[in-house]
Amino acid sequence: MPAELSSVEPGSPTARALAAVLLRRARLVDAVSLTPSVRRSAWHWLRRPLTTQAGLAALQAELIQRGLLLSAGLYRHCAGLNPLALAGLGQALLELLDAESGKDANHVPLFRGFPESVPANTETFYIDRVFARLLQEPDQPCVLCGEVDVVHPVSPCAHLVCRSCWDGSDFSACPICLRRIDPDDPFLKPSFDEVPTKARADRLRLLSPSFAGSIRSTTADLLSRQAPLSARDRADLELLLIDADPSWLPTVIPVRETRAVVLARLLPQHPDLIDSLVGTATDALRLLYALMGADPGLRTPPVRRQSLPRAARRAVLGRLNQLPVEPLVEDMLRHQRAWKRVAENLHPFDHATTYPRAALAFAVLRATRFTSASNPGLRGRGLDTSGPAGRSVLAEAAKHPVIRLEDGRLRMNTFASRVEGAFSSGRPDLALELLRGRPGELLRRLVHLARALPVDAHPTLTDAVTTAVSDVSPVVLTAALGQVRTPPGDLRLFFPRGGSARVWTTVDEREPLPAGLATALSAVLVGELLRRATALPRVRRAFLDEELSRLAAPGSERSASSTLLRMTRGSAQPIASSDLLRLFLHWVEPAEQRVDLDLSVAVFDEEWRFVGLCDYTRLRFDQDALVHSGDLTSAPAPLGATEFVDLDLVALRRIGGRYVLPVVFSYNNVPFDKLLRGFAGVMRRPSELFDPAAVEERFDLTGPAKILLPFGVDLHTKELRWYDVNLSTAGYGHNVARYAGQVALMAAAMEEVHGAGDRVSLWELACWHAAARTNEVVVRCADGSVVGYHRGAAEDVTTFAHRLSTRREPDRYWDLDAANRADFIAVVTGDIDPKSGAEVYALHPHLLDPSNLRLIDAPHFLTTLAPDTRADVPVH
């Protein structure tokens, strides 16, 4: 296994962090980086193996418990290590895997015998706690059972607890206040030890060895994404770029936020990159935010004012000075508050004579007053027209007719104001003419234009879109396609670009698009995507899984939570009606601040009427239909706190429930980003209290949110749909009973928008790729049957793609062995044996080996459909 990095020492924290990225993103093990950190204490998990073979067997057993296996190549590498080196590699590998799944946390619920020992009557449990809290006195018999000499305080809350009424082998916290107590407190007694069971074979996934170019290829995948990255992906990219240079960069980095991350990392050593990576004023602002450690998506400002290096300030002003005035000023006005904030660092008027155009833009932005005062006032309220800065700015303004001087201030009408003015004055035709020059904006305003324009202007709109699509990102194309063909419904969803994934809903009162226009626009958008796919390398045969229709096409991941599967919001996964799901929530509070999180479940019927709940007020719902592990009201380090809820889907269907909605609440109104650590997720049919092999999905609790709705379960369609949205909050004491109406409204809107099937799915993207790249496509249907489609000699690509994506009558029936001979494969579950070198997408790769396959992720479907020519400035 060759070392890839020259400046990162193997075994260092940075090397370990890079190894964690490769392991999490691609299941690649960088054994060189993990092996050097060898300590004799690492022998403990191997029970002091005498030989490498014994250690290898122990490592395999530990990995199987986590749902993983060593590939043949990694097994050979491990077999060549001495026992001590293998112990170090194994310990480091298991630590990374446990941190990823959450197994490294101490998952000790309130009732350690969960679910069996959870009280059947929550009210009685609550009354006993209240009586003990209010009436119990020191050195007195227990107020509940009357026994003497059994009541003693617990540490550190000092509540008086009866050892007979409260079982110290079952409780993990004070039974009275439910806060964590000292682990050495005599009240706590040893509990039973769990015996891990063997993981199911259908959940095993291969671990493969990293290769010389694994870091660079992983970096290239992120740089080529066509949509903004999530916070986790950006953090991974910054780490992967630690040893990068301009030779790593592709010809074009399509996402501007990603460019800012790259440039912030490389700018000190390669300042010339700013000319190629900064094409607009907003690009420069993203760069400044990245340099100050803030979000390059401009959602949240820097935490505090930071001083930038002089070279960076001059580089940014110099690049701004090179941009055309009208788009420069317009871009800055779009983020007016942010630019005013960073102007305090840039000091543009101090450099007005050197960078007059940049100073002019700031003068318009800040509505700077020009005066004839004797004091130049560069840091005051105005600019002296007789001073060098004032003269330079006014001289530059005279060169641009779009800038005018009114009442001693510089003004300019922006493009956005002209477009909005055209719409508000009833001139959508004028708005269309303005938008023709900006293809991306035209596609983003497509539905607005389609409703505003008269019928006789529809052909003009179609022609404009036909011209514009060739220069537009595939993410914008798929988003426009989904909007065009989605009819108005009862509710609309809005995902603002704010600091967290808060969602707003409103009643949809829009008129439907004319059917003919919607069909024509859809044909143009799909036709462009097919045209781009046709230019990709041909393949002999494609194998597709019909279950991909449950997965939404990848889009912007800017506000997505950090998850294991990285599914797009709105995606769904099938679940068996007999499934037992176990939800989990774990958090660790900061010092000196108590954080009380609650894991709750609300159940609604077919009409979204409230059926019942399971939370700290009701630990059991309908006996065993929902069982809560108990409410913990504090989570001090290092133990933290964990809550579980078991869901019996059969029992929930029996009582009339259809929609099951888990919700995470911050009861005492502390935002998630204050936590030292926090995550939640769901396990399917776990074999132990916390079974890493059964973790279906796990997401981090981050950002300023206080209520998170991660997903919903539809018991009728047997689907688990990924929501990943936050609700707005106010006050104290958040719980599911208080927010049941808002939770139901949000989930109903998500189900209506994403459950209708009008949005672009991963199935359609796979069909477009397959139809454009091959004449022979094999489909595994939802019922398990395998059918084949063959493109006829007289059949064009569009017709073939439509026949395939709409699942028309197949040309023949096939067997599953067709997957083994396919070159392009897209499936949900990797339960196949593809031939070597095949290009494979699998949401659950299982035993697919990346060493002889080209495993791709969902964004790859759009990355390869990037436009042939772009208006963006290339990197080189």
Give residue-wise pLDDT tens across range 171-203.
999 999 999 999 889 999 887 555 555 556 567
The half-sphere exposure of 831 on its side-chain side, counting CA atoms within 13 A, is 9
User: What is the pLDDT at residue 43?
Assistant: 46
Q: Coil, strand or helix: which one is 519?
A: helix
Over 421-477, what HEC string results?
Answer: HHHHCCCHHHHHHHHCCCHHHHHHCHHHHHHHCCHHHHHHHHHHHHHHHHHCCHHHH
- The pLDDT value recorded for residue 357 is 95
The whole-number average pLDDT for the span 847-856 is 89
H or E element that contains 89:
helix 83-101
Q: Measure the CA–CA gap between 358 and 229, rounded to whole angstroms.
A: 30
Residue 13 CB partners (closer than 8 Å, separation 6+): none
Relative to beta strand 504-507, strand 491-494 is antiparallel
Place of tokens 């509940």: 144
Q: Which two tokens stand for residue 333?
A: 């006005």
Q: What was the pLDDT predicted at 658?
A: 94
- Residue 861 tokens read as 């479907």
Min mean pLDDT across 210-219, 682-691, 727-736 is at: 727-736
DSSP H/E element including 566 = none
Higher-scoring residue by pLDDT: 817, 462 = 462
Q: Contact at 8 Å (CB) between 779 and 809?
A: no
> For residues 72, 212, 25 and 277, what is the CA-based torsion angle, rounded to 10 degrees?
-160
Q: Report the alpha-carbon angle 763-767-771, nearest 5.
A: 180
pLDDT surpasses 50 at 761: yes
Q: Compute the distance between CA of residue 148 and CA of residue 154 in angstroms, rounded to an integer.
A: 17
CA-based max dimension of the chain? 95
Say if residues 824 and 839 touch (Cβ distance below 8 Å): yes
Q: Say what the pLDDT of residue 202 is.
A: 63
- Token duo for residue 833: 């044996």
The radius of gyration computed from the CA coordinates of the chain, to the nearest angstrom, equals 30
Query: Does the pLDDT at position 551 exceed 60?
Result: yes
**pLDDT value at residue 192:** 57
- 3-state per-residue secondary structure call for 315-373: HHHHHHHHCCHHHHHHHHHHCHHHHHHHHHHHCHHHHCCCCHHHHHHHHHHCCCEEECC
Say which residues have a Cβ less than 8 Å from residue 668's Cβ, sequence separation at least 6: 594, 595, 596, 732, 733
Neighbours of 827 (CB within 10 A): 24
Q: Could you tell me what percent of the chain has a pLDDT over 70?
A: 92
Lowest mean pLDDT among 414-423, 453-462, 504-513, 646-655: 504-513
Are 176 and 159 within 8 A, CB to CB?
yes
In the predicted structure, residue 577 carries a pLDDT above the cut 90: no
Q: 36-61 pLDDT, tens per residue?
A: 544 444 445 545 556 888 889 999 99
Q: Which residue would you say has higher pLDDT here, 674 or 407?
A: 674
Residue 476 clears pLDDT 90, i.e. is over it: yes
User: Does residue 229 sit in helix, strand or coil?
Assistant: coil
As a whole number of angstroms, the distance between CA 316 and CA 287 comes to 9
Predicted pLDDT of residue 227:
84
Q: What count of other Cβ atoms lies within 10 Å of the Cβ of residue 293? A: 11
Burial 691-720 (b: 16+ CB within 10 A, else e): bbbbbbbbbbbbbebbbbbbbbbbbeebbb
Q: How many C-beta atoms surround the C-beta of residue 343 within 10 A?
A: 15
Contact 350, 317 (CB under 8 A): no
The three-state secondary structure class of 681 is strand
Q: What pLDDT digit, counting tens, does each position of 302-350 carry?
A: 876 678 889 999 999 999 999 999 999 999 999 999 999 898 889 899 8
Q: What is the pLDDT of residues 595-609, one digit of tens each?
A: 999 999 999 999 999
Q: Which has the closest alpha carbon to 566: 232, 104, 836, 193?
A: 232
Using the Cα atoms of residue 802, residue 804, residue 808 and residue 811 in order, give the sign of their dihedral: positive
Task: Sort strands 707-714 and 695-700 into parallel, antiparallel or unpaired.
Answer: unpaired
What's this model's pTM, rounded to 2 decimal places? 0.86
Tokens for 711?
């997903």
Does the pLDDT at position 861 exceed 90? yes
pLDDT band at residue 876 under the 50/70/90 scheme = very low
Q: What is the pLDDT of residue 597?
A: 95
Task: Indicate if the pLDDT at residue 107 is higher than 80.
Answer: yes
Can you give the length of the chain in residues? 876
Q: What is the pLDDT of residue 289?
A: 93
Residue 875 has pLDDT above 70, yes or no: no
Average pLDDT, the chain: 87
- Asked whether residue 797 carries a pLDDT value surpassing 70, the answer given is yes
Residue 794: partners with Cβ closer than 8 Å, 6 or more residues away: none
> What integer pLDDT is reported at residue 489 of this predicted model?
72
For 267-280, how does the pLDDT look when each residue is reduced to its tens digit (9 = 90+)?
989 999 999 999 99
At 162, which helix (H) or strand (E)?
strand 160-162
With H, G, I as helix, E, B as strand and everything else as coil, classify residue 68. Answer: strand
377: left (phi over 0), alpha (psi -120 to 50) or beta: left
pLDDT digits (tens, 9 = 90+) for 436-468: 999 999 999 999 999 999 999 999 999 999 999
According to the model, what pLDDT value does residue 3 have?
A: 47
End-to-end Cα separation, the chain, in angstroms? 32
pLDDT tens digit sequence for 113-164: 999 999 999 999 999 999 999 999 998 999 999 999 999 999 999 999 999 9
**CB contact set of 741 (below 8 Å; sequence gap of 6+):** none
Report the alpha-carbon distance of residue 58 to residue 697 in Å, rounded. 27
The pLDDT, as a whole number, for residue 817 is 79
Q: What is the pLDDT of residue 48?
A: 52
pLDDT of residue 198: 57
Residue 542 carries which side chain, given as an amino acid letter?
A
Q: Which residues pair with 659 in a beta bridge?
A: 604, 714
Structural domains of the chain sorted by starting position, each given as residue range(s) with its CATH number in brackets: 13-107+199-207 (no CATH), 122-191 (3.30.40), 255-413 (no CATH), 416-494+504-528 (no CATH), 542-551+760-863 (no CATH), 572-752 (2.60.60.30)
Does residue 423 register a pLDDT over 60?
A: yes
Mode of pairing for the β-strands spanning 610-614 and 597-604: antiparallel
CA-CA distances (angstroms) from residue 76 to 70, 95, 204, 312?
9, 21, 19, 49
Regarding predicted confidence, which is higher, 727 or 278? 278
| pLDDT value for 562 | 66
What's the CA gap between 252 and 278, in Å, rounded?
12
Number of C-alpha atoms within 13 angstroms, CB side, residue 243?
Answer: 13
Judged against a pLDDT cut of 50, whether residue 375 lies above it is answered with no
Q: Which residues lie across from 854 on neighbouring strands?
A: 839
Q: Is 117 exposed, middle or buried (0-12, 13-18, 19+ CB in 10 A)?
A: middle
Q: Which two tokens stand for residue 718?
A: 């047997």
What is the model's pLDDT at position 871?
38
Tokens 């010389």 belong to: 212
> C-alpha distances in angstroms, 78 versus 57, 85, 852?
11, 9, 19
What does the alpha-carbon distance between residue 188 and residue 145 come to, in Å, rounded to a whole number? 20
DSSP 615: B
Helices (H), 27-173: 31-34, 52-65, 72-79, 83-101, 122-135
